[in-house]
Amino acid sequence: MIKYFQKLKAKKGFTLVELIVVIAIIGVLAAILIPTMLNYVTSSRVTSADTTASEIKKTIDNFLTEADTLGYGMLLSSSAKCSVKGECDSSGKWTLTIGAGAGLTSDGTTGIAAFKTKKGIGEWKASASIEHGKTRVDAKDDATAQLAWKLMDAFPDVKGVSFGAYLEGGKTMYVAYTADSDKADFSVELKDFKAGSSEWNKATAGVDSKGYIVGTAPKLPISTGTKTS
């Protein structure tokens, strides 16, 4: 028994000073690593959003090409301009709005007048809404609804997202997309794309002034003179 207590007494644990030093080291490491990890997560989300914006741009362009071969594509003129706002709510319902003030605002936009139209095949309308599980029959004469279906097919699993696109002369010029809101109310504007950069949140490219992660196609860097992450 005496030997047992002697062994216990001989055992040495951490001193208070040693524990304080270890805790201090952990605190320093956390202070260094946590911001790095947060920046990495943000960067990954921005990259993912940029990729989606690019895919939306391609999807709209492919539809415009298909529509043009059928006679209801976009007018091939620099004066043919329009913006498209796309919103997908939490249930997966897609709503497209075409015209002035929708998505990426443009001066002098011509809205649906920027498109050719063929009744009975493809007639462009100012807005259209579609839902999962609904028949496509109602969309066969509605070009706007057909575009909405095309986007739903390309992104069948996304919900609670939104985008804005600017079209001109038969091409999709710019797209901004966010998964942080199902309303296209991000602060990226048409003038940013035309300038080739944005102020973003004045700190991180891809994070707008509202704090949304916004993907862009083409990708918008942060304006010169502001900090980049």
pLDDT in tens, 38-58: 666 788 999 999 999 999 999
Q: Answer whether residue 226 shows pLDDT above 80.
A: no
Would you say residue 225 lies in a domain? no
Nearest to 84 by CA among 169, 144, 130, 160: 144
Q: What is the pLDDT of residue 7?
A: 57
Q: How far apart are CA 165 and CA 102, in angstroms?
A: 9
The per-residue pLDDT of the chain, averaged, comes to 84
Q: From residue 94, how far is each of 56, 61, 148 by CA, in Å? A: 14, 18, 7
Residue 149 lies in a domain: yes
Distances in whole angstroms, Cα of residue 91 to Cα of each of 38, 55, 116, 192, 206: 29, 22, 32, 31, 26
Q: Is residue 151 part of a domain?
A: yes
For residue 141, being part of any structural domain is answered with yes
pTM of the model: 0.80
Range of the structural domain that residue 84 is part of: 16-217
Q: Identify the weakest region by mean pLDDT among 126-135, 145-154, 196-205.
A: 126-135
Domain count, the chain: 1
As a whole number of angstroms, the distance between CA 211 and CA 222 comes to 15
| Inside any domain, residue 228 | no
Residue 7: inside a domain = no
**Which of 2-6, 107-111, 135-139, 201-205 has maximum average pLDDT?**
201-205
Q: For helices 16-69 and 143-154, what crossing angle results, to 10°?
A: 140
Examine residue 117 and state whether it is found in any structural domain, yes or no.
yes
Q: Does 131 reside within a domain?
A: yes
Q: Is there a cis peptide before residue 156, judged by omega within 30 degrees of 0?
A: no
